[in-house]
Structure 1
Amino acid sequence: ASRRSGGPPVKKDLAVVASGPTRAHVNPTGKVSEVLLLFQRHAVLVWVFFPVFVVAQWLTPGFQPTCSAGYSACTLVVVALAIVHHLYAESRAWAAVKALLTVPELCVMRQLGILRKRRCLVLLGILEDLNLYTVLTFPFVAHACDAETTERWLQSWAAVPVVGESAAAMLAIPRFWGCAAIVVACVVLGGLAGMCRLLALDGRQIELLGGGLEASALEEAPRLAGAVFFSMAQSAEAAVMPSVAQLCEEIGLQRRWVFNSKEDRGGAYAVTKAHRDVAWGKMRYESLEMYELYNQEELHRVDSAGSYHFMLKIVRKVLIANAIQLWFQSTFFELSFKSIGSEAAYKLIAGMVISGLQVFVRSADTVPKLGCPGLALTLPSMIIVAWAGAKVYYAFHCSGHVWNLTTGCVGGTGVAPATV
């Protein structure tokens, strides 16, 4: 209005435009350290306090897991307090990571639906906390039912052709609950390894590492590289915060592209000429990349970091932490079908449902980002989930409540005809 009347422009509006965040990179000073501290605290709570609490529960009379009730329902109060801390830490970590984004990047996150997925992923993280507690208590519940479960388990293995007798003899040493404890120990050791890596990270070093890429060229706040965000995503997974992890993953994928004018190769004119030469068959398409106005080294570095992160997530979070646990839980369900109490059965079924949900949700999110390698890594988990589902189904339809993949229904003294 002031321009139309011939008056001077409104300085307030210009100041707002000039000072508002546009494409300038947000200075990460302090934000990365804050995020890592939140990750570290919750990781210690999950991977140190939970195992110690479960072992203390097993050693305390009156709170020990039983075959009739499973783990004590009173202990869920402690799990609820851990979930409250999860919500607090996730909220602050999400806000800190989001503050590292520029306005255009926030618009991209909204268009991709990353911000809308937050609530569902927070719920997924809460279920993961609860599922981890269920997994940690599972070997102790199996130990309480060991008198019957191990005997029936060895009988089912003995019925397997060729290797059955040898496998039964070997498994008789650790027994069923011991084998379950070994698998759970692998989950805990993987979590502790991620926690130790997280505790060793220094936020200031990460800021300096990521900020050196474009700060000198653009003369603005340091720009955290995409590989740094994948490192933060891996830390978020160690802290059981899938919502923050996915936000960091998507930021890392978007920051693969770093502008490079390539004046030494002719700049934009050389790009146009290279595209024309490819169209006319004068140049191979594979040679076109060296002329594009982006940093190929940074692109390959971020792609490598992303592939490693996604593969690690499939193996650790999907296969070991959920699919294999689901197989052991479904096996225990059929072995203890007659002896387990209703309360323990309901808790066991809830744990199996959460594990299956984790497998499908995480696989659906990760496989498209990895392509064929991701599909190949996820296939064993899907087979195990289907196998576990068949075990639960045939527990209700077999006379002996035990089912083998190779022999069908297994009775108390031998092999019974399969019931479909």
Structure 2
Amino acid sequence: MSRLRLLTVENTDDPALRDLLDRSVIPDPEVSRRVAEIISDVAKRGAEAATEYGDQLGGGYQRIDDESLNQAVSDLDHRLRAAIETAIESVETYQRSQMPADRTISPTPGVEIARRWTPLRRVGAYAPGGKAAYPSTVIMTVVPAVVAGVREIVLVSPAGPDGAVAPVTLAAARLSGATEVWSMGGAQAVAALAYGTEDLAPVDKIVGPGNHWVTAAKLAVLGKCAIDLPAGPSEVLVIADETSDPTLVAVDLLSQTEHGPDSPAVLVTTDPDLAGRVEVEIERLLPDLERSDILAKALSDHGSAVVVPDIETAVELANHYAPEHVTVLTSDAEVVGGAVTRAGSVYIGEWSPESAGDYATGANHVLPTGGLAASYGPLSVTDFGSWRQVQTLTGEGLENLEETITALSDAEGLTAHGLAAQIRVRKIKDGVE
């Protein structure tokens, strides 16, 4: 049985690639309309509306008390707690290496410009939940905020069918450093974070992945508060050649498509025979996987194998596609991986599975999808602060720039701008302090 759609192309302009490349994270208009209604209602009625939507749509609306968080940590088995703590340490180490540094320069005599960074005051982190628990996403969204110096970090995650947030999610939130944890999800959670309620203060920024309802809500509140990026279905593109192990290619495709039935998986190869060998391995591995039904649908609906004439075309296609994940399994993986410039995260060589980045290396797994890796990057410590410019001029500095200021302000018809400089320069020349 062939699950991957087979395409053979000569270049990246081939019309056969149109459907593959044409994807977007923009939600369906009907979803956006309904989300707008939910946000408006929560903004007006606060906790009452958030509670009603939590009851109707699931996810709840309740702050988790400290006792429950501490108990969740106590109840963790040793192996899982050790894994969570190792992941936290790895993420913290990597994020600390990215901490912004203030900088001051003097471009001309008497002019000093400083660039200074300040952590945000309060942020909201969304971790998907409900039918599954994602403690790794808690770590990836909370730890960079802690490293950045954010004082108030609100973690929200929807309750499951039993009406409770998964204990492992609560434990990860406590261990990662979240200062508040709430049981809520969906558009109503995003609305509550953005606008606040009677018992939940609004946040400056919302980060973290979610379904199309969450994505639509994040886009809708942009302007009221900041967001990290709009996120669509998780995706992977594997670059392979005749030297690639078909089992590794297959398992890398499978490991990403198990996120959901709408997750794209793309194999790009120079070897026409590899696709068939990968299909054989997929069929061998699939039955034993817990989410085999989801995997089968994702591969049938969104799986592709693209045969290209050479590695250069493979890299060009990867950069056009600009996916969330790129795995390079070619003979010269480091060279090929270095040429991939538009991807959320790149995994080079057969010992670098995507799952290592998802859980353990310290790299962030909150990544741009749907082609947005062309303009967005991974979530990082720098997303949890803001830059400001600080400018100091001496009298000499202003005199040197007066002509530039007045000439440009006159050209734009903004003469008060020029006057602000001229009055000061006259004061300098008159010797008035």
Q: TM tier, shorter chain?
A: under 0.3
Question: If each structure's strand is expressed as a fraction of its own residues, which one has the higher value?
Answer: 2
Which TM-score applies when normalising by structure 2? 0.21
Q: Which has the larger radius of gyration?
A: 1
Which TM-score applies when normalising by structure 1? 0.22
